[in-house]
A and B are shown apart, each in its own frame.
Chain A
């Protein structure tokens, strides 16, 4: 079945450690996105990528890094520079048509907790 897969579902990190969240899609979508959601808040864009080997900062990119070496994969690294990383992280993908973008499909998310 086609879809978008995030792993792990839950992740615990010690302060000062970098961690990498995985996001893989087999929908042949061009664009992939990372969002952060804090309790009771909306989605905030961290990074996005519209083609392989290219990505752009979103609204809250500080303390995060990404790569897009393959169309199917868009991992997110939460670095020690991110001061408050505990949050729900959502990966999404979509495809551009000639008239805009298709709807976004989301993975199930990763809950990151700093301990």
Chain B
């Protein structure tokens, strides 16, 4: 089993739709969780951190479920500019600090 697993998609949604991605992780000792966005042929950039209590940033909401070992990202009112690949990242103290999922591709259509 991979340390971090994501549905590769693509998710094709119309503008204005709500879309959700999940990411599962295998190591229960994981302590830090992030969602990154990667545009085509660019470096990944931090979208948001994921806190135990969940957090929201505008149209984006991230949730953490430690019991089931998954994190989620919800995007409301999708924009064309949201089209990108979304990477789930899980960290823990000690070695192998950064583990990336393979990404979920989102395509928002007019």
A105 vs B36: C-alpha distance in the bound complex, in angstroms?
A: 10
In the complex, residue of chain B having the shortest beta-carbon distance to the beta carbon of A104: B98
A96 vs B104: C-alpha distance in the bound complex, in angstroms?
A: 27
Contact: B95 with A42, CB < 8 Å? no
Q: Which of B44, B91, B102, B103 contacts A101 (CB 8 A)?
A: B91
Q: Is A1 part of the binding interface, using a Cβ–Cβ cutoff of 8 Å?
A: no
Q: Which of B44, B93, B95, B97 contacts A90 (CB 8 A)?
A: B44
Question: A109: which B residues are within 8 A, CB to CB?
Answer: 42-43
Contact: B101 with A42, CB < 8 Å? yes
Q: How many pairs, one residue from A and one from B, have CB atoms within 8 Å of each other in the complex? A: 69
Q: Which of A42, A50, A56, A106 contacts B102 (CB 8 A)?
A: A42
In the complex, residue of chain A having the shortest beta-carbon distance to the beta carbon of B29: A100
Contact: A108 with B43, CB < 8 Å? yes
A100 vs B49: C-alpha distance in the bound complex, in angstroms?
A: 12
A31 vs B32: C-alpha distance in the bound complex, in angstroms?
A: 15
Of the four ranges (under 10, 10 to 19, 20 to 34, 35 or more), the interface on chain B belongs to: 20 to 34
A62 vs B32: C-alpha distance in the bound complex, in angstroms?
A: 29
Closest CB-CB distance, A113 to chain B, in whole Å?
13
Contact: A45 with B87, CB < 8 Å? no
Q: Is B31 part of the binding interface, using a Cβ–Cβ cutoff of 8 Å?
A: yes
In the complex, residue of chain B having the shortest beta-carbon distance to the beta carbon of A107: B43
Q: Is B46 part of the binding interface, using a Cβ–Cβ cutoff of 8 Å?
A: yes
Considering the complex, which residues of chain A in the window 37-51 have a beta carbon less than 8 Å from any beta carbon of chain B?
Answer: 41-43, 45, 48, 50
Q: Is A35 part of the binding interface, using a Cβ–Cβ cutoff of 8 Å?
A: yes
Q: Which of A33, A41, A88 contacts B98 (CB 8 A)?
A: A33
Contact: B97 with A103, CB < 8 Å? no
A97 vs B41: C-alpha distance in the bound complex, in angstroms?
A: 31
Contact: B98 with A96, CB < 8 Å? no
Question: A21: which B residues are within 8 A, CB to CB?
Answer: none
Q: Which of B42, B43, B97 contacts A31 (CB 8 A)?
A: B97
A100 vs B64: C-alpha distance in the bound complex, in angstroms?
A: 16
Taking A48-B97, A100-B32 as known contacts, 8 extra A-B pairs with beta carbons closer than 8 A to each other, sorted by chain A number, are A35-B100, A45-B98, A90-B43, A92-B98, A100-B93, A103-B34, A104-B34, A108-B43
